[in-house]
Every structure is written in structure tokens, then in C-alpha cells.
């Protein structure tokens, strides 16, 4: 949780110029699997989406100020983004402008801070970058072939458009729905969040 705390400090420090989003996928150290000696929680391997949502509630409490979202049980967003345990991204103006290395070795919170500091001093637009923190992932082998695109709308229906095949659902604090390119649809809930995720051809 020390890295999550460090991320939260950066997120709060740059909250005036960037929104933050925590994406919880698969438990890296399940209590019935590869257990870490310093794991703060005993979370068994997720057998269904409800298990994953319950586990995500713990992260939600540990991460005040950041929206917390989860992947589906197929873990395809994990594979699409090339996340390995944990990874950092920054999206700005429909483009990935920073892609961190795979954690734990490639995880560099200082790089994230440096990018945001440069952006704060140099920015000439009102566009707001979105910082994505991919946390507690199982190993994957597929790197993303296309960068995700972020297309925020006004009001309550802010959307995240993903150009590659990726089942991801996310939530901003005021409520949102996401649209991706997959040909299916589902609705999920986490606490007060009511996420309507539409995936179209």
C-alpha cells in the first residue's frame, strides 16, 4: 500500500490540473494463492465479479479523492493495457502522453510527478489530463496495440472511448458511463456507483 499512498499524494498535489483513476483488476497476492508477507488484507482469489467488487471497496477506502474502478473477470483490459501488477498512464487530449514501465521494477512515481510538474508549468490549454493507476494485476503477455482515447463530454455522461478491444468500465466521481468497441453490454455497481457500460461494434 506504500505505492498507493505515494500515488495518492501525487494525485492530491496535482488535483488542480489532473483527474486520477485507480483501476483494480486481479488480486496479485490472494490469500489462497501467492501470498505476500506484508499484505495488509487477506483477499482470496476472485471467483466471480462480486468478489472483485467487494475487494475493490477496500481500495476505495484506501484511496480518498480518486475514483476506483474494476476490470471484468476476463481481465481483457489488463491485457490490452499491458499491465503487470501495476502501471501508470497519463491521457491528454485523446492521446496517451505517458506510459510507465511495468511494476514493480518499472514503476516510477517520480516520472509521473515530473511529467505533471512540466505540464503545470508549460500548459497553455484548459484540457485536463487523466492519470490512470493500474494496480494489483496478474501477469499478462499481450502489449497494447493501440493507445486508448479519452473523450470527456460535459455534464454527467462523461465517456472514455477506447480504440482497441478492451472491456473496461470506469467511473468519475459525479457518475459516468463508458463506451468501447466491443460488441456487448453490461451494467455493474460498486457502492453508490451505477455504471452503465455500453460496448458497440
Mark the ranges of the chain whose per-residue pLDDT is less than 70. Answer: 1, 26-44, 46-47, 65, 84, 124-201
- pLDDT given at position 93: 79
135: which strand partners? 24, 86
51 Ramachandran zone, left/alpha/beta (phi>0; psi -120 to 50): alpha
- pLDDT given at position 157: 30
- pLDDT given at position 112: 94
Return the DSSP state at 176: B
pTM above threshold 0.85: no
Mind listing the domains of the chain with CATH numbers?
2-145 (3.40.30.10)
pLDDT in tens, 148-200: 444 455 433 333 333 222 223 333 333 333 333 333 222 333 333 333 333 33
**What is the distance of C-alpha 58 from the center of its chain?**
15
- pLDDT given at position 114: 95
Amino acid at each position: 500500500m506504500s505505492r498507493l499512498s505515494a500515488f495518492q499524494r501525487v494525485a492530491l498535489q496535482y488535483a488542480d490540473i489532473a483527474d486520477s483513476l485507480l483501476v483494480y483488476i486481479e488480486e496479485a497476492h490472494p490469500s489462497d494463492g501467492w501470498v505476500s508477507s506484508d499484505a495488509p488484507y487477506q483477499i482470496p482469489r476472485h471467483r466471480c465479479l462480486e468478489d472483485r467488487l467487494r475487494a475493490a471497496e477496500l481500495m476505495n477506502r484506501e484511496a480518498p479523492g480518486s475514483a476506483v474502478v474494476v476490470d471484468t473477470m476476463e481481465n481483457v483490459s489488463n491485457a490490452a493495457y499491458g499491465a503487470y501488477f501495476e502501471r501508470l498512464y497519463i491521457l491528454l487530449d485523446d492521446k496517451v502522453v505517458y506510459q510507465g514501465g511495468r511494476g514493480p521494477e518499472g514503476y516510477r512515481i517520480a516520472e509521473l510527478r515530473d511529467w505533471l510538474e512540466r505540464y503545470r508549468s508549460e500548459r497553455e490549454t484548459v484540457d485536463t489530463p487523466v492519470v490512470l493507476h493500474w494496480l494489483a494485476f496478474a501477469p499478462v503477455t499481450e502489449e497494447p496495440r493501440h493507445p486508448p482515447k479519452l473523450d470527456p463530454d460535459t455534464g454527467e455522461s462523461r465517456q472514455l472511448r477506447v480504440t482497441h478491444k478492451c472491456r473496461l468500465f470506469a467511473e468519475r466521481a459525479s457518475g459516468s458511463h463508458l463506451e468501447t468497441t466491443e460488441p456487448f453490454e453490461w451494467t455493474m455497481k460498486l457502492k453508490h456507483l451505477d455504471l452503465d457500460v455500453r460496448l458497440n461494434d
